[in-house]
Structure 1
Amino acid sequence: MDLLIKNGTIVTSTGSFPADVAVEDGKIVSIGKDLGTEAKKVVDATGKLVLPGALDAHTHLAMPFGGTISADSYLSGTRAAVCGGVTTIFDYPVQHKGETILGLINSKKAVLEEEACCDYAFHCCITNFNDGEILDEMEQAVADGITSFKCFLVYKKEGMMVDDGMLATLLLRAKELGAMINVHAENPDLIDLRVEQYLKEGKTDAWYHYMSRPEFVEAEADKRVVHWATHLNAPVYIVHMADKEGLEACIKAKEEGHELYVETCPQYLEFTCDVYKREDGRNFVCSPPMKGQESQDALWLALKSGFIDTVATDHCPFQSYEKDWGKDDFTKIPNGCAGVENLYPYMLDAANSGKIPFEKVVEVCATNVAKIFGCENKGEIAVGKDADIVIYDKDKDFTISVDNMHSDYDHTIWEGKKLHGYPVQTYLRGELVYDNGAYVGKPGTGKYVKRIPKK
């Protein structure tokens, strides 16, 4: 036996219980009481929770956007991930005209093979069919374990947007292949109209980023996605849900039995649009933006009620001097915020304070992600699964600061956030990679996760 974690409380999506966990060759081989002490390494987890590693289903590492590249490389982003208890990230490479899916993915894999500190998977963003070549190539991509593809209903001027016809075509093609389409839903024409209006009126600070794409602008696109997916009888996954009206449309479709999944992010659960009135409001600019209190309350209620399936981060940080490009013009602010290292600690803090059960955190940050996206060896503390394990100290106080994070950015929207409880160790396939504040792994140990399509 390679590793034995003793005397902890195991948390699953359905319950918690005291037990030991035995690991061999990177897999969980036994779970039970009093498994002995015969192991190369024995860890005493008395008084602590033993959790499956989280899967962050939404990251943008080393992503060209807004005239620059997101601040976290594959090395620093995945290093930060494991230091927050995330053992698998899903990245979003963006395919452009002339590029193939597999050509793009393989170029990213080549970097990750050298740099990845956690395991990794991909959702490929499709922006151009290349005269039908992409539709044909999707079959091989699915065979290679890429079972989800993303569409932007925004970023028209950047050449990333798909229209309704392209969305419908991709929904049907993915359904045919046992794959799924992920959608960023906002209405680009309303955004452009409102941006033009505010700039003409000299309203240029960060508040008008929110005002240019408020609740109803996101909601219209959410409802359009629900309309097409339900009428085409195709599964769909709506990313970074932030508004009440769109959420309600998703809930109605789910109650009617449609295969529709909803993701939200910690920033929408923690902050409201009031942050854009702050002097440093530009640092909070992301799309969709944080919304009003009514939407935030609806998100928490849906999370507790089981209508939100996953919580992910949309991790896409930029340096403060890059955010400052938009100090006098919100349209020049690179869109995105940090979060991958904060996901699990933030959600577990919510559980530790009694807002939601610990089992719910495991469900939306680990188990559901693995099930929805076909990661058969991830997401649970169970025999036969990868030994991606987080040990969590419910009594450890922690204050988030850019100085104790493990990314390459120079600021964080989470600065000063106090958490009660924090991960103290992370194991990736049985190997210790994070230990009490320090990254102790080796870049390049992360592996590609080949996912299983739906049957």
Structure 2
Amino acid sequence: MDLIIKNGTIVTAKESFVADIAVKDGKIACIGSNLSMEAAKTVDATGKLVLPGAIDAHTHLAMPFGGTVSADGYLSGTRAAACGGVTTVFDYPMQRKGKGILGTIESRKAMCDPEACVDYAFHCIITDLNGGELLEEFQASVDSGVTSFKCFFVYKKEGMMVDDGTFIKILLKAKEVGAITNIHAENPDVIDLNIEKFLKEGKTSAWYHYLSRPEFVEAEADKRAVHWAKSVEAPLYIVHMADKEGLLAAVEAKTAGHPIFIETCPQYLEFTNEVYKREDGRNFVCSPPIKGQESQDALWDAIKKGTIDTVATDHCPFQSYEKDWGKDDFTKIPNGCAGVENLYPYMLAAANSGKISFNRAVELCSTNPAKIFGCDTKGSLTVGKDADIVIYDKEKDFTISVNTMHSDYDHTIWEGKKLHGYPVQTYVRGRMVYDNGEFTGEPGYGQFVKRKTALS
């Protein structure tokens, strides 16, 4: 064997038990008590948890947006992922008018392959159907292992928004080829009306970013997306759910048996809209914005009840000086916050405090995203699957600071957050990439994850 991790408590989405886990050629070869075979390396995990690596199903690395590019490229973003126990990241290549899906994906793979420190997959953002020709590429995309697409109901001026008719065409074609459609749901026209009003009134602080797109603006679009998905009986994955009203509508559809899947993010679980009143409120500007306490309570309630399917980050950080572009005009603030290194530690700390179970944290951050998006070699500690493993110390105290993160940004909204319990080692396909605060991997080790048909 290449590696044996002994005496740890193995945690799955369904159960926890003390056992050894053996790794050979990047795969989990054996799980059992008191394994006695020889191994090149043996790790004693007595008193610690042994977890499947997390899957961050929502990141934006090296993303052009707001007149700049997100601060983490593929090297720093995946390095940070490794150090937070995330062993697979999903990124969002953006197809543009006149461009195809396969070309968009291949150009991003060319950027990612030499830099990725953990494994990676793609959802392809669709912005224009090129007169309908693009729909004919959906099958080829699925065949290539990219089995999910994303649409925006917002960012009209940026050329990223799709209208309802285009959205329905995408839903239907994705359903036909076995793919799943992701949606960023907010109402662009109401946002634009609000922005115009606030700017005329000289209301330009970060607080008005929230007020320009409050709960009901997201809720209307959530309901609309769910309505269309139900009407054409197509699967739908709602990204970064942040509001109570839209959440309840999506949960109602799920409960009725429709294939509706809901993602939320740690920033919505930790902070409320009060952050936009702070002096550094611009640092928290993301879209959808962080909402009020009632919405946060509803999100946690859904997590505990099992009606939210995944927690991912929408990782899209920018530098302080770029956020400062909007200190006197919220419309000039690049939208996005850091999170990929904080995802698993945050959710596991919630489990460590008793807010949820460790099994539920694994389900939300690993098992469910693997199932929903067709990552058949990921998401659980099972013989034959990739040896993506995190060792977690429930007694380790950790304070998040930009100085202890492994990204390229110069600030974090998580500064000063104290966590009880923290990952101490991360393995990607059996290779250690993180060890007690130090990145031990290398750029280019990460592999593209060719996925099966979504939900298969």
Partner SS, residue 132 of structure 1: helix
Deviations 1:161-195 (A, max 9, x none): 00000000000000000001000000000000000
- Greater mean alpha carbon deviation, residues 191-200 or residues 107-116: 107-116
Please name the residue that 1:97 is paired with: 97
Please name the residue that 1:254 is paired with: 254
The residue identity in structure 2 corresponding to 1:217 is V
Please name the residue that 2:210 is paired with: 210
After TM superposition, give the deviation of residue 56 of structure 1 in Å.
0.2
Partner SS, residue 10 of structure 1: strand
Deviations 1:306-350 (A, max 9, x none): 100000000000000000000000000000000000000000000
Partner SS, residue 423 of structure 1: strand
Please name the residue that 1:158 is paired with: 158
After TM superposition, give the deviation of residue 37 of structure 1 in Å.
5.3
Q: How does 1:131-146 map to 2 (within 5 A)?
A: 131-146=131-146
Q: How does 1:412-451 map to 2 (within 5 A)?
A: 412-451=412-451
Please name the residue that 2:298 is paired with: 298
Q: How does 1:19-418 map to 2 (within 5 A)?
A: 19-36=19-36, 38-418=38-418
Work out the CA distance in 2 between the residues paired with 1:48 and 1:409. 31
The residue identity in structure 1 corresponding to 2:425 is Q
After TM superposition, give the deviation of residue 131 of structure 1 in Å.
1.6
Work out the CA distance in 2 between the residues paired with 1:174 and 1:302. 27
- Greater mean alpha carbon deviation, residues 67-76 or residues 104-113: 104-113
The residue identity in structure 2 corresponding to 1:197 is K
Partner SS, residue 252 of structure 2: helix
Partner SS, residue 29 of structure 1: strand
The residue identity in structure 2 corresponding to 1:172 is L
Work out the CA distance in 2 between the residues paired with 1:325 and 1:266. 25
Partner SS, residue 386 of structure 1: coil
The residue identity in structure 2 corresponding to 1:90 is F
Work out the CA distance in 2 between the residues paired with 1:243 and 1:111. 35
After TM superposition, give the deviation of residue 392 of structure 1 in Å.
0.2
Work out the CA distance in 2 between the residues paired with 1:162 and 1:139. 20
Partner SS, residue 146 of structure 1: coil
After TM superposition, give the deviation of residue 133 of structure 1 in Å.
1.9
Work out the CA distance in 2 between the residues paired with 1:111 and 1:153. 28
Structure 1: 4+ residue segments shifted above 2 A: none
Work out the CA distance in 1 between the residues paired with 2:291 and 2:54. 26
Work out the CA distance in 1 between the residues paired with 2:118 and 2:391. 16
- Greater mean alpha carbon deviation, residues 104-113 or residues 280-289: 104-113
The residue identity in structure 2 corresponding to 1:137 is E
Q: TM-score, normalised by structure 2?
A: 0.99
Deviations 1:38-57 (A, max 9, x none): 10000000000000000000
Please name the residue that 2:17 is paired with: 17
Give the fraction of aligned pairs with identical amino acids, expressed as a percent: 75
The residue identity in structure 2 corresponding to 1:251 is V
Work out the CA distance in 2 between the residues paired with 1:380 and 1:236. 23
Work out the CA distance in 1 between the residues paired with 2:132 and 2:212. 34
Work out the CA distance in 2 between the residues paired with 1:271 and 1:134. 39
Work out the CA distance in 1 between the residues paired with 2:93 and 2:278. 32
Work out the CA distance in 2 between the residues paired with 1:110 and 1:232. 36
Work out the CA distance in 2 between the residues paired with 1:56 and 1:208. 29
Deviations 1:45-95 (A, max 9, x none): 000000000000000000000000000010000000010000000000111
Partner SS, residue 50 of structure 2: strand
Work out the CA distance in 2 between the residues paired with 1:262 and 1:237. 6
Partner SS, residue 298 of structure 1: helix
Which 5+ residue runs of structure 2 have no aligned equivalent? none
Which 5+ residue runs of structure 1 have no aligned equivalent? none
Partner SS, residue 114 of structure 1: coil
Partner SS, residue 57 of structure 1: strand
Please name the residue that 2:2 is paired with: 2
The residue identity in structure 1 corresponding to 2:442 is K
Task: Give yes or no for the alignment of 1:453 onto 2:449.
Answer: no
Count how many residue pairs are aligned between Structure 1 and Structure 2: 455
Aligned-residue Cα RMSD (Å) equals 0.6
The residue identity in structure 1 corresponding to 2:116 is A
Work out the CA distance in 2 between the residues paired with 1:37 and 1:234. 48
After TM superposition, give the deviation of residue 243 of structure 1 in Å.
0.1
Work out the CA distance in 2 between the residues paired with 1:183 and 1:85. 26
